[in-house]
Amino acid sequence: MFTFLRKVRRSLMETGSVKKYILYAIGEIVLIVVGIMIALQINTWNENKKTASKVNELLIALQEDLIQDTLLINENLPFIVDQYDFNESLRDRVAKVGATLDTLIQIMRHEFNPNWRAQITYNTNAYNSLNQTGLIENLPNELKSEVKNFYNKKATYRSRIEKTTNDYQGKITSYVDTYTFGSTGIHDQGPLVDGLVWKNIDPAHLAATFQGISNFKRILFTETREELEFSLRNSRALIKMIDGHL
């Protein structure tokens, strides 16, 4: 192509046809510009294709992360519900009209379980990759909005739970400096220590301590349950939504 054009240009120069040469030169420039534009368009198309392929890969990975998260939630949620219900049953017993100091001692000495469950470590690799690469901006607007809102709201939930957990841990730490737990094997200190600790207790202090601990546990497990149920419900919705874009 270029060899042919050079021959034409040489021929026009040799014949001295200025007008034809100028027209030829303009045409050659136009052809070059068109060629460059086509090359750029092809390059842009290839880049867009690569980007779309990468976004598609990350969407598939995000969907798989969400599926794994739903399995984790289904595994942990029953424990949270059971612990919340058990904590409420203890509070109800103490709140009854016929409750006595012995009721409170029985609960705190033998039944109350101070343990809690750490927050689930969710699978966030795909979401992090979408953010770090900026490819999240290439998602369809509705899907992009749902994904961002979901993970932002979940982060808010988890931040609040972390604060409540720290407060609850502080209550438990303060409690074990004064009393013992007999409801779990890890807190089994034997009859001697247990007997001495509970021989001369301050009923008012024990009552206030129970109120504080059980209330914080109520808040902690309520917040955890809300986060798990939110994540489960919205993970399922996002899984279906992603399906519609794959």
Q: Looking at the predicted structure, is the pLDDT value of residue 185 above 70?
A: no
Mean pLDDT lowest among 42-51, 143-152, 201-210: 42-51
The DSSP letter of residue 150 is H
Contact between residue 27 and residue 213 where contact means Cβ atoms under 8 Å apart: no
Query: Which residue, among 129, 96, 114, has the nearest Cα to 213 in the 3D structure?
Result: 114
How far does Cα 113 stand from its chain's mean position? 28
Mean pLDDT lowest among 21-30, 43-52, 195-204: 21-30
Q: Looking at the predicted structure, is the pLDDT value of residue 192 above 70?
A: yes
Half-sphere exposure of 27 (CA within 13 A, CB side): 11
Integer Cα distance of 167 and 164 in angstroms? 5
Contact between residue 105 and residue 206 where contact means Cβ atoms under 8 Å apart: yes
Query: Which residue, among 147, 123, 142, has the nearest Cα to 239 in the 3D structure?
Result: 147
Strand boundaries in the chain, DSSP class E: none
